[in-house]
Chains A and B, each alone.
Chain A
C-alpha cells in the first residue's frame, strides 16, 4: 500500500533535481514548521499530515495574496515600492469576508484601520515565540567551489598570451575522452538511422569508418586538434543531413518509376477506354454506351472522326449532338436510347476524355442533362 504515490513523487523529485523546485520545497517545509508551531501554541497536541499540509498551503497562499493585493494598490497609486498603507489596504481586503471594526465606513483612514488594531491587540496578547530554527536568506545559493586560477594554483600559463588570472584548462584527458563518450551515449535511434544510411549509400562507408578509427586513436593517445576537428566535422556531416555534402546527378541511385504491368501493357495498346475501365469502376455506365457510340460514328461518317484521332494534350472537349435521325438507325442492343423513335441523340465523345476523372464526372452530369433534354425534346415533338 502506498499513500497516493508519494514515494514515486519523491523519487521523481530526486531524479529531476531542479533547483527552483528545491527552493520551494524548502520554503514549504519551513511554512509547515511555522504553522505547526502556531498550532501548538493554540493548544493542539498532534496533527494529521494532510491537515498540516493543507494548512501550510493556505498560509502560504495568504502571504502571496497579501503581497499581490498590496502590489495592486501600489501600482494603482503609480508607485513601484510598496508602503504600509498598501499593505494595510491589502490586509483589509483579505479580511473583508470576516469583517472588522470600521469596515462599513468606506472613507475611513487607513491609519486607524480595524485590522491594524486587531493586529496590535494580537501582538500584545500572544506570547512571542520565535521560529524554531535559524534560517538563511532565501533563495539559498550553495557557494560553488570555483576552479582556482593559474595564479592561485601556482602554475605558469602554458603560453604567454594567457593571463594568469584565468582558470587553467581542463585536463587533456577530458578532451580526449569526450568524443568517445558521445559515441557511447548516442541515441539508439540515431545509430539505427546511420545503419540505414549505410545500406543506402555505400559510398559514404568510408567517412563512417573514420569514427571507430578516431575513437581508437583517442584511446591510444591525444590526436592533433585539427585532425579531431576534421573528424568531428565528418561525424557531424554523417549524423546531420543538412551538413552533408550535396549529391550530384547520378551519384545516388534512384530506382526508376515502373508502371504496373497491367497499365503499361494497356498503354502500349493505346486503349484508353479499357484503361479507364480498369482504373475506375465508375465507368460501367459508360461502358454500355461505347459500342453504340462507335456504331453511330461509323454510320454517320462525321468530320468528328478525324478529330478523334488527334489526341488533345489538354482536357478533351465533350461534345454532344442532338439531331432528329432515322427511325431504324441504331441496331445496338446495349444502347439505352434504342426505343426512342423520334429523337436520335448523337453522342460524340473523344475517347481520350475517359482518361480524366473530372471529365468523367462531367460526362455523368452531361448524361443527366442529355436525358432531361431528351425528355423535353420528346415533349416538344410529340
Chain B
C-alpha cells in the first residue's frame, strides 16, 4: 500500500470535495429563503461598509444571523423550561395559566451571556404602560 501517496491524494480529493461543497452550499442558498430578510441584512451590511453585489454572500450572512438568533433562542427556551420546572409543585398549579413559554429578559440575558453579550436586565423596567397595573385597575 502506498500510504503516503494515498493520503495526499485523499487530502487533495477532500479539498476538492470541500471546494465543491462550499460552492454547492452557496448555490443552495439561492433557493433557501432565510427568515432574516435580505433587505435588512443588506441595509446593515451597507452601513458597516460592506459592499458586494453577490446575493449569495448576503444570504450567507442572513443564514448566519438566523442561526445565531435561533441558537440563542433555543438556549433561552431551555432556561425558560428549566425555570418553570424548578417551581414547587403546589405552586405550579396556581401558575397554571402562566405555563406559556415566554421570552423574558432573565432567560435571554442568561442565554446571551454564553455568546459573549452582556445584557443587564433592568429591574423595574415596565414593558408596556399597563405592565405595572393589575387587572382590576386596567379595567377601569
The chain A residues found within 8 Å of chain B, CB to CB, are 1-4, 6-7, 23, 27, 30-31, 34-35, 37-39, 41-52, 54-55, 58-60, 62-68, 70-71, 80-84, 87, 91, 97-98, 109, 111-112, 115-116, 118-120, 122-123, 126, 128-131, 135-139
Q: Is B82 an interface residue (CB 8 A)?
A: no
Asked whether, in the complex, the Cβ of A111 is within 8 Å of the Cβ of B103, the reply is no
Chain B residues with CB below 8 A from A48, complex form: 102-105, 127
Asked whether, in the complex, the Cβ of B51 is within 8 Å of the Cβ of A80, the reply is yes
Pull 18 A–B residue pairs with CB atoms less than 8 Å apart, ordered by A: A3-B129, A34-B69, A37-B35, A38-B73, A44-B73, A45-B100, A48-B103, A51-B108, A55-B72, A58-B72, A67-B48, A68-B50, A87-B60, A112-B15, A116-B22, A119-B67, A129-B35, A135-B40
Asked whether, in the complex, the Cβ of A54 is within 8 Å of the Cβ of B68, the reply is no
**10 cross-chain pairs, A with B, having the tightest CB-CB distances, nearest first:** A67-B48, A67-B50, A47-B103, A138-B43, A97-B116, A67-B45, A42-B73, A112-B18, A49-B127, A3-B126
Asked whether, in the complex, the Cβ of A82 is within 8 Å of the Cβ of B101, the reply is no
Contacting residues of chain B (20-37) with chain A, CB-CB under 8 angstroms = 21-22, 25-26, 28-29, 32-33, 35-37
- When chains A and B are docked, how far (Å) is the Cα of A328 from the Cα of B42? 106
B52 to chain A, nearest CB (A): 5
Q: Residue A71 contacts which of B50, B100, B128 (CB distance < 8 angstroms)?
A: B50
Contacts A54-B119, A119-B67, A130-B33 given; indicate if A46 touches B101 (C-beta within 8 A): yes
Q: For B50, B63, B112, B128, which residue has the most chain A Cβ atoms within 10 angstroms?
A: B50
Which residue of the partner chain B has the closest CB to A74?
B50
B140 to chain A, nearest CB (A): 13
Contacts A38-B66, A119-B67, A122-B67 given; indicate if A1 touches B132 (C-beta within 8 A): yes
Q: Residue B43 contacts which of A1, A27, A115, A119 (CB distance < 8 angstroms)?
A: A27
Asked whether, in the complex, the Cβ of B48 is within 8 Å of the Cβ of A135, the reply is no
Q: Is B47 an interface residue (CB 8 A)?
A: yes
Asked whether, in the complex, the Cβ of A45 is within 8 Å of the Cβ of B101, the reply is yes
- When chains A and B are docked, how far (Å) is the Cα of A109 from the Cα of B22? 12
Chain B residues with CB below 8 A from A4, complex form: 125-126
Q: Is B19 an interface residue (CB 8 A)?
A: yes
- When chains A and B are docked, how far (Å) is the Cα of A268 from the Cα of B60? 95
- When chains A and B are docked, how far (Å) is the Cα of A82 from the Cα of B42? 13
- When chains A and B are docked, how far (Å) is the Cα of A59 from the Cα of B43? 13
Contacts A123-B32, A130-B33 given; indicate if A66 touches B63 (C-beta within 8 A): no
- When chains A and B are docked, how far (Å) is the Cα of A251 from the Cα of B2? 112
A380 to chain B, nearest CB (A): 82
- When chains A and B are docked, how far (Å) is the Cα of A80 from the Cα of B51? 8
Q: Is the interface of A mostly helix, strand, loop or mixed?
A: helix
A109 to chain B, nearest CB (A): 7
- When chains A and B are docked, how far (Å) is the Cα of A67 from the Cα of B70? 20
Asked whether, in the complex, the Cβ of A55 is within 8 Å of the Cβ of B108, the reply is yes
A114 to chain B, nearest CB (A): 12
Chain B residues with CB below 8 A from A60, complex form: 44
Q: For B41, B52, B77, which residue has the most chain A Cβ atoms within 10 angstroms?
A: B52
Chain A residues with CB below 8 A from B119, complex form: 54, 58
Asked whether, in the complex, the Cβ of A135 is within 8 Å of the Cβ of B37, the reply is yes
Asked whether, in the complex, the Cβ of A67 is within 8 Å of the Cβ of B74, the reply is no
Chain A residues with CB below 8 A from B55, complex form: none
Chain B residues with CB below 8 A from A138, complex form: 39-40, 42-43
Chain B residues with CB below 8 A from A68, complex form: 48-50
Chain B residues with CB below 8 A from A3, complex form: 125-129, 131
Contacts A45-B102, A119-B63, A120-B21 given; indicate if A59 touches B48 (C-beta within 8 A): no
Q: Is B133 an interface residue (CB 8 A)?
A: yes
Asked whether, in the complex, the Cβ of A111 is within 8 Å of the Cβ of B18, the reply is yes
Chain A residues with CB below 8 A from B102, complex form: 44-48
B22 to chain A, nearest CB (A): 5
List 16 additional contacts besides A3-B125, A30-B40, A38-B73; criterion CB under 8 Å: A3-B126, A6-B129, A34-B35, A35-B69, A44-B80, A46-B101, A47-B102, A59-B68, A82-B52, A97-B116, A111-B22, A112-B14, A122-B63, A123-B25, A131-B36, A137-B39
Asked whether, in the complex, the Cβ of A34 is within 8 Å of the Cβ of B39, the reply is no
Q: Is B87 an interface residue (CB 8 A)?
A: no
Chain A residues with CB below 8 A from B22, complex form: 84, 111, 116
Asked whether, in the complex, the Cβ of A98 is within 8 Å of the Cβ of B114, the reply is yes
- When chains A and B are docked, how far (Å) is the Cα of A135 from the Cα of B62? 15
Which residue of the partner chain B has the closest CB to A29?
B40
Q: Residue B105 contacts which of A51, A135, A136 (CB distance < 8 angstroms)?
A: A51
Asked whether, in the complex, the Cβ of B77 is within 8 Å of the Cβ of A84, the reply is no
Chain B residues with CB below 8 A from A47, complex form: 102-104
Which residue of the partner chain A has the closest CB to B133?
A1
Asked whether, in the complex, the Cβ of A84 is within 8 Å of the Cβ of B44, the reply is no
